[in-house]
Structure 1
Amino acid sequence: MLTQSDDLLEHTVKRLGLAALGAAGLYLLSRMVFKRLVTQSASKILREPYDRNIFETYAMTSRVNPMIMVDTNLRAESGQAVMSFGTPFPMPAFEGIRFNTAQLHRFSTPQDVEVDTTLVLGKQAAKPLKLDIPILITGMAFGNGLSKQAKLALAEAATLAGTSTNSGDGPFNAWERAAAKHYVVQYGRTKFNRDPKILRQADMIEIQFGHCGWVGLGSKYAWKEFTPELRKAFELKRGEDLVYHANFPELSKPQDLGRLVSDLRKITGGVPIGVKLTCGSDIERDLALILEAGVDVISLDGGQATSHWSPAAIHDNFTLPSVSGLCRASRFLDKEKVRDRVSLLVGGGLETPGDFLKALALGADGVYIGFIALVALLHNQEFKALPYEPPTQLLWYTGKYKNKFNHKEGAKYLANYLRASAEEMRMMTRGVGKSALRDVSPEDLFAVDETSAKIANLPLHYQSAL
């Protein structure tokens, strides 16, 4: 019995020794192979001309933005216009602006003083839109953008947070209206959302002349591309394509806008009537015509805004930066002395509570959020799609995983984001010595770069106030 135990121990020791010897040999061999591979590769990179050198791949890609590289290959593959989700190019934003500190020259607002966050749109309208916070959900369409679950989540989150959601340039839906306490209906350059029965259910009408992804362009979608659900929602007859006109067919000249505003005001019984447009370099001329029409609200879409399935050529090459469009519009409205009756909203690249409050300080009454709202909506659900698909596949109407998206969870987290943002805006408002978000103004700001200073007419950080 003892002999058998000794033999077993001897065999075990031999096997362990051989395993250790094999591992050591494999380690040494792998080091030799790895060193040889590195030496040969480095030698080729350092000796071969660039036209045969693999390192030229780095030289190519380092000269081009990764999105441009992908866009180029997509154009080469399809021979068609590339559709994207915003521009990769940087442009002036709110990061170059900071808040002044209230300490001794002006005291900060005590913590027990309530900070007013409310917003009234359509100050002289018969039925003004009253919101608890000045952060609104921007227009994002059902069907040619978001799924029903995603739209429901946006509506429910807006209700929980005391703000509004927006139909976007898609169809009105009764289920979305039922979920939203405050609902903005876009009146677009197409056939749907024109029924007076629909318009009377809106808390605000937004006449949409353009948005970041398409500016004022028209587009056409084949009937066969739509599901039966969408054909019904878009009011398409059999074989009828969906057409977004470049301009409103009922407006033969810009001055006809006043008649449309008046008609919508009568149909709705006096809810605020707004106009949405992108910020072009002729913004003051556009605004003059909008004011002449007697609108209650102006909504601006700046260059950093994103839009699902929109031409990369438009995103990358059109529209003023949001901060520039806002500052120019605000100065124009001040000059025209209409701030007592016309409200100003801005959207496009506003992503933090600091961005939101800076926009208010520079003249906006409220801000629109879209992309960042979707990010908050996806909290704790991203990995239902990742790592094999982008998280947005949970949100798009055509998304592969849209049925996995829990809209109740999405609504909860977006509402949390909105509440947290409002609270941080209250903190910053106390920090500049004010007690209402609407009272924060350019006097509470300074710029840390010359571009921001010139855009917003602000003092630079190194300039004395004395």
Structure 2
Amino acid sequence: MLLSWLTMKLMDPMADEMMAKTLTEDYPDNPFLMVTVAEKLSPRALVEAAMRAESGKELTRPLGSPVVLSPWDKILLNPKQLFQLPYPDYTQVKTQTIIGPNAKKPLKLAIPIMITGMSYGGSLSLLMKMALAKGSALAGTSTNTGESAVTNEERDAAHYLVGQYHRGGQLSGKEQLSRLNAIEIQLGQGAWGGAVDEPMPASQMGEHLRKAWQLEEGQDATIYSRMPGKQSTQDYIKMVNSMKEQYDVPVGVKIAGTDYIEYELAVIAQTQADYIVVDGSEGGTSSSNPTLQDHVGLPTFHTLVRTIDWLEANHLRERFSVIIAGGLTTPGHFLKALALGADAVYIGTIALMAALQSQVAKALPQAPPVQIALYTGKLSDKLDVDVAARHLANFLASCTVEMQLAVQAVGKQSVHELDRSDLVAVEKELAEFAGIRYAASHREGHHQTDSGQKAVWRSNQMQLQ
């Protein structure tokens, strides 16, 4: 009590002086000026300006951009109650997912939620990679090497491992590629604005990582803007087809979403790839700079809609499985992405947060929780792998049940039966772009123009008669 009283007595004159200056002084000498400056520039711009002024180097912002332009919250699923009944048992709603069904060894998953590429070394610690692998295995889904190599630790912990054949070359050769359940040729990433150089100095690498990447002591590593040795679009087409000829597992191509998405898809369509990964600008990463994250690329929603529309318009939808990535965080996001045409979704940042769960207390308040997860994190050795794996598996199980319940309400028996007729948008321009109904337009029953809904209406009328 005495300490509290003394503290208040000391603070009272300072508070009085601050209040007096705030209410009486002109702006140049008024502390309230910082409030107006922050409103004009934004607190984020102020802090990032200070960081740039201190270092003179590019910033590295973990976990992606705060700029979210995908309008997921302006789209809703359409439940049915009387004219068509809900599905009778949500536990029987199917979630099984196949990536690359035409491959000799398709990737068969229990759920349409996959762990995206986050690399050991360039992004995450080995312990966190093991936790993601174990958690995904418990949930019956896959994890992804990211721009790294196949390590024994991750391979042993994962049930299904997707490996990125990427622009740094650390994952290549039959010894590594033959250990994968799917091969993902990584040509771009949403959080990096596509494909740019990503250097990593030798001073940041430990011995285990250096051996995994097969580097000499003191040798730097670089993820390049293009595959080394590839000089033309035709070189990339040949590379994909060569990979497809050598391996029985699904072979896919990953690109970042941009306003040239249709041009990029036209190139992929000339390959024998089994699946396509499109990564929107809201995707996360460990170290790209704010300019690439905030100002380059195409939002995830727009990337997905345009990808599916182009494939359907060119009669190619059945040839390719489509995985969408970039800022997807909730079961609602996942369902809406599936309804728009995706076969599966990749998650990254939200998977990390779920895995860390109560272990964030090991970092807070002295350090941000990412210090437990990142390869360069000061607390990376504090992660309990089994606890993190269990929390990730619980998160995925929870998401799956919520998705099943929503699909039950919509009146369907599989998450893969969802389509755009199951969606409605509250903005007219958004509805027109995505080819879904606008919430402010009335349904006209059997007079409506949508042929699919017309058939449903007639079927239900016959049942009533």
Q: Taking structure 1 as the reference length, what is the TM-score of the superposition?
A: 0.90
Does residue 424 (structure 1) correspond to residue 407 (structure 2)? The answer is: no
2:52, 2:110 → 1: CA distance? Answer: 46
Task: Determine the structure 2 residue equivalent to 1:256.
Answer: 235
SS of residue matched to 1:220: strand
Q: CA RMSD in A?
A: 2.0
Task: Determine the structure 2 residue equivalent to 1:138.
Answer: 116
Quick check: 1:302–1:320 contact (8 Å CA) kept in 2?
Answer: yes
Does residue 280 (structure 1) correspond to residue 234 (structure 2)? The answer is: no
Task: Determine the structure 1 residue equivalent to 2:66.
Answer: 88
Most deviating of 66-75 and 214-223: 214-223
SS of residue matched to 2:253: strand
Q: Which amino acid aligns with 1:147?
A: S
Does residue 412 (structure 1) correspond to residue 390 (structure 2)? The answer is: yes
Task: Determine the structure 2 residue equivalent to 1:369.
Answer: 347
Task: Determine the structure 2 residue equivalent to 1:14.
Answer: none
Task: Determine the structure 2 residue equivalent to 1:356.
Answer: 334
For residues 282-319 of structure 1, what are the alpha-carbon distances to aligned partners after superposition, in whole Å with 9 as ceiling and x for unaligned?
00000010011121110011111110011111001111
Does residue 320 (structure 1) correspond to residue 298 (structure 2)? The answer is: yes
Task: Determine the structure 2 residue equivalent to 1:71.
Answer: 48
Counting only pairs closer than 5 Å after superposition, residues 31-42 of structure 1 correspond to structure 2 as 38-42=15-19
Quick check: 2:244–2:273 contact (8 Å CA) kept in 1?
Answer: no
Match of 2:84 among 106, 124, 135: 106
Question: Aligned-pair distance for 1:39?
Answer: 4.8
Over 3 Å counting, the alpha-carbon distance change for 1:231 and 1:341 in structure 2 is same
For residues 405-447 of structure 1, what are the alpha-carbon distances to aligned partners after superposition, in whole Å with 9 as ceiling and x for unaligned?
1010000010011111111111111111100101011101101
Task: Determine the structure 2 residue equivalent to 1:59.
Answer: 36
Task: Determine the structure 1 residue equivalent to 2:453.
Answer: none
Q: Which amino acid aligns with 2:28?
A: D
Does residue 293 (structure 1) correspond to residue 271 (structure 2)? The answer is: yes
Task: Determine the structure 2 residue equivalent to 1:5.
Answer: none
Question: Aligned-pair distance for 1:387?
Answer: 0.7
Question: Aligned-pair distance for 1:36?
Answer: 6.0
Q: Which amino acid aligns with 2:388?
A: G
Quick check: 1:200–1:267 contact (8 Å CA) kept in 2?
Answer: no
Most deviating of 331-340 and 237-246: 237-246
Match of 1:241 among 198, 216, 220: 220
**Count of residue pairs the alignment pairs up:** 441
2:222, 2:124 → 1: CA distance? Answer: 19
Question: Aligned-pair distance for 1:104?
Answer: 1.4
1:349, 1:358 → 2: CA distance? Answer: 13
Quick check: 1:118–1:134 contact (8 Å CA) kept in 2?
Answer: yes
Question: Aligned-pair distance for 1:241?
Answer: 1.9
Does residue 220 (structure 1) correspond to residue 217 (structure 2)? The answer is: no
For residues 212-260 of structure 1, what are the alpha-carbon distances to aligned partners after superposition, in whole Å with 9 as ceiling and x for unaligned?
2322101322323322222111111244321212111232211222321
Quick check: 1:67–1:88 contact (8 Å CA) kept in 2?
Answer: no
Over 3 Å counting, the alpha-carbon distance change for 1:225 and 1:399 in structure 2 is closer
Q: Where in structure 2 are there 5+ consecutive unaligned residues?
A: 445-465
Question: Aligned-pair distance for 1:83?
Answer: 1.1
Does residue 157 (structure 1) correspond to residue 135 (structure 2)? The answer is: yes
Does residue 453 (structure 1) correspond to residue 434 (structure 2)? The answer is: no
2:42, 2:204 → 1: CA distance? Answer: 33
Task: Determine the structure 2 residue equivalent to 1:389.
Answer: 367
Over 3 Å counting, the alpha-carbon distance change for 1:276 and 1:112 in structure 2 is closer
SS of residue matched to 2:324: strand
1:316, 1:255 → 2: CA distance? Answer: 31
SS of residue matched to 1:310: coil
Q: Which amino acid aligns with 1:256?
A: D
Question: Aligned-pair distance for 1:170?
Answer: 1.3
Over 3 Å counting, the alpha-carbon distance change for 1:51 and 1:289 in structure 2 is same
Question: Aligned-pair distance for 1:33?
Answer: 8.1
Does residue 125 (structure 1) correspond to residue 103 (structure 2)? The answer is: yes
Question: Aligned-pair distance for 1:38?
Answer: 4.9
Q: Which amino acid aligns with 2:61?
A: S
Over 3 Å counting, the alpha-carbon distance change for 1:161 and 1:194 in structure 2 is same
SS of residue matched to 2:41: coil
Q: Which amino acid aligns with 2:232?
A: K
